[in-house]
Amino acid sequence: MAYLLPKKVVRCFGVSGVENLFIDKPMQIGFNEPLLCDFSANSYIILDFGKEIVGSVRIITRQVEGNNRIRLRFGESVGETCSEIGFKNSTNDHATRDMVVNLQTYSDMYFGQTAFRFLRIDFIDNTSALIKSIVANLEINDEKVIGKFHSDDKLVNKIFDTAAYTVRLCLQNGMVWDGVKRDRLVWIGDMYPEVFALDSLYKKMDNIDNSLDFIKDQTELPKWMNRYPTYSMWWILILKEHYNGKGDLNYLEKQKEYLVGLVEQLKQCISDDGHLDFSIIKGVENAGYFIDWPSHPQDESDEIKTNDEAAGVQALAVLTFKAAKELYSILGIDNSFIDGVIRKITEKKYSVIKMKQIASLRILAGIGDENDKKIVTENGAKGLSTFMSYFILKAVSSFGEYEKSLSMMKEYYGAMLDLGATTFWEDFDIEWLSDNVCGITKLVTRSQKDIHGDFGAFCYKGYRHSLCHGWSSGVIPYLMHVVAGIEIKSPGCKEIAINPHLSGLKHLKVTYPTPYGKLTVEHRVDENGKVNTTVNAPSQIKIIK
């Protein structure tokens, strides 16, 4: 079983022999243990395991005295691991991360099952102990990662690798989870960037099919997936994107009946003037409009977000029906009605006021305008959304602003890394940096704002905020498909065009998984500025240059 030693002690009190915790010893307790850590009564220690992980803590104990009770607090930040339940919205939601447990002499015990980087242990109720080892027990998917990205820009490489690690941690329980501390659920809308990322990293990932089937089986029509009508739309978009990448026609055909029923249900929700009214479907729980949290109005008085969210739902519907048209064609279903549906949807005119994610959806749906273009490009990384990062960066790239889009990605995701992130977060706002903020690896001082505990909104206020959320991995398909230029032209990668937009990079080498094996693409910019490309592809794939 894989385990990880602590990398450092953030702080401790009443502890001697701390250095022995960093020694890799046999994971077995014995009668003669010379390398022990001595915890006196009322002592505590805060350990840093160096990176976000999913799993439990394993404590191998030689001797314990007193009342045998310790308090464990797992945290994604140092601040969270020192918090009391309720303080800055600290919770035990979805996984218990704050608990009191009993130690035993000559024991080897596992405690907890959550996501964490930091662990605080308090020896309470007059408990003292001699401990041999405290290690993190890892629960991580061991499927071979094929997708690789390496360029001459170290920050870009680190962003790719961190995003890949983030989405890998979310492969739990045979499913694709949204978050690993909180939101250990199959949120189908959130899965879109996760699936797009996973299909860029792995040859085949059963977790994707399992999750698509799970949510479908839990959502008998006319119910909406996860209660959101837009999430049922995302299911169609995921189905199309996943088939495009892996070409599994047998799996797609199993979805035919549900797909047709869902498309018909969505069609019923379009009023004569193009308005999307999901309340038409009676007797079904309907959570209303939703694109992502930053663009979601908190109340009806928020006219800007109310307008923009409605525009986003319209754009998402256009993308959904375009995807349905492709899937119907593949499945041999008459799709002649769909163009008329799209025309009807777009009869209602919107003008986006503020939100970049909404403007980007409109651009990619083919209904954007100059105002949308202005919104997505102005103010750099301000207004980026972790969930919608792929759409925003691709939209900026779609009208030739390639260097700007890469710069926005580096500014936004690089800021999380600067704050100590080893996985990417449920949300992040560049404007949070306007305060004197403390990163996740230190205890905040009185003059500072806590980047974890003092920010966030909606369901992710304060320490409830997840610092490992799979939907933040949209940078992976952006880097693979836009920057490296791997464009899938026929389902299952049978035809691939190579059309790089290096965005200021001088050298780039990627490995991409296809159903037929690895595709390797290397780009080098010569002294004259010309991009020289080398491609090594399986024989079954036709390469278009």
Q: Does the pLDDT value for residue 236 go beyond 90?
A: yes
Q: Which two tokens stand for residue 123?
A: 């020896």
CB atoms within 10 A of CB 60: 21
303 close to 355: Cβ distance less than 8 angstroms: no
Rounded CA separation 462/452 (Å): 6
Rounded CA separation 246/239 (Å): 11
In terms of Cα–Cα distance, which of 127, 5, 117 is closest to 58? 5
Helix (H, G, I), strand (E, B) or coil at 111: strand
Helix (H, G, I), strand (E, B) or coil at 393: helix
Q: How confident is the model at residue 301 (pLDDT cuts 50, 70, 90)?
A: confident
Q: Is the dihedral of CA 69, 75, 78, 79 positive or negative?
A: negative
| Residue range 93-118: mean pLDDT, rounded | 97
Q: Give percent of the chain above pLDDT 70.
A: 100
Q: Could you tell me the residue ranges of all domains in the chain?
A: 3-138, 148-426+466-486, 487-544
Question: What angle, rounded to 10 degrees, do the helices at 206-217 and 191-198 form?
Answer: 150
Q: Does the pLDDT value for residue 545 go beyond 80?
A: no
533 close to 540: Cβ distance less than 8 angstroms: no
Q: How high is the pLDDT of residue 106?
A: 98
Q: How high is the pLDDT of residue 454?
A: 97
Does domain 148-426+466-486 bear CATH number 3.30.1300.10? Answer: no
pLDDT in tens, 333-373: 999 999 999 999 999 999 999 999 999 999 999 999 999 99
User: Which residues, including other chains, have CB under 8 Å from residue 3's CB and lie 6 or more apart?
Assistant: 27, 58, 135, 136, 137, 138
470 close to 493: Cβ distance less than 8 angstroms: no
Q: How confident is the model at residue 406 (pLDDT cuts 50, 70, 90)?
A: very high
Amino acid at 366: G
Q: Considering only the top CATH level, what class is 3-138?
A: mainly beta
pLDDT in tens, 512-535: 999 999 999 999 999 999 999 999
| Residue range 386-400: mean pLDDT, rounded | 97
Q: Does the pLDDT value for residue 1 go beyond 90?
A: no
CB atoms within 10 A of CB 308: 27
64 close to 34: Cβ distance less than 8 angstroms: no
Q: How high is the pLDDT of residue 299?
A: 82
Note the pTM of the prediction, 2 decimals.
0.97
pLDDT in tens, 29-87: 999 999 999 999 999 999 999 999 999 999 999 999 999 999 999 999 999 999 999 99
Q: How confident is the model at residue 114 (pLDDT cuts 50, 70, 90)?
A: very high
User: Which residues, including other chains, have CB under 8 Å from residue 464's CB and lie 6 or more apart?
Assistant: 89, 90, 91, 93, 182, 456
Cα 7 to chain centroid distance, Å, stands at 25
Largest CA distance in the chain: 81
pLDDT in tens, 267-296: 999 998 889 999 999 999 999 999 999 999
- For every residue of 511-526, DSSP letters joined together read EEEETTEEEEEEEEE-
Rounded CA separation 533/509 (Å): 10
Rounded CA separation 522/536 (Å): 9
Query: What architecture does CATH give domain 487-544?
Result: Sandwich (2.60)
The DSSP secondary-structure symbol of 27 reads: S
129 close to 61: Cβ distance less than 8 angstroms: yes
CB atoms within 10 A of CB 460: 21
In terms of Cα–Cα distance, which of 268, 261, 257, 266 is closest to 313? 266
User: CA angle, 457 as apex, 456 and 458 as ends, to 5°?
Assistant: 145
The residue whose two tokens read 């949120």 is 187
Q: Does the pLDDT value for residue 251 go beyond 80?
A: yes
| Residue range 457-477: mean pLDDT, rounded | 96
95 close to 115: Cβ distance less than 8 angstroms: yes
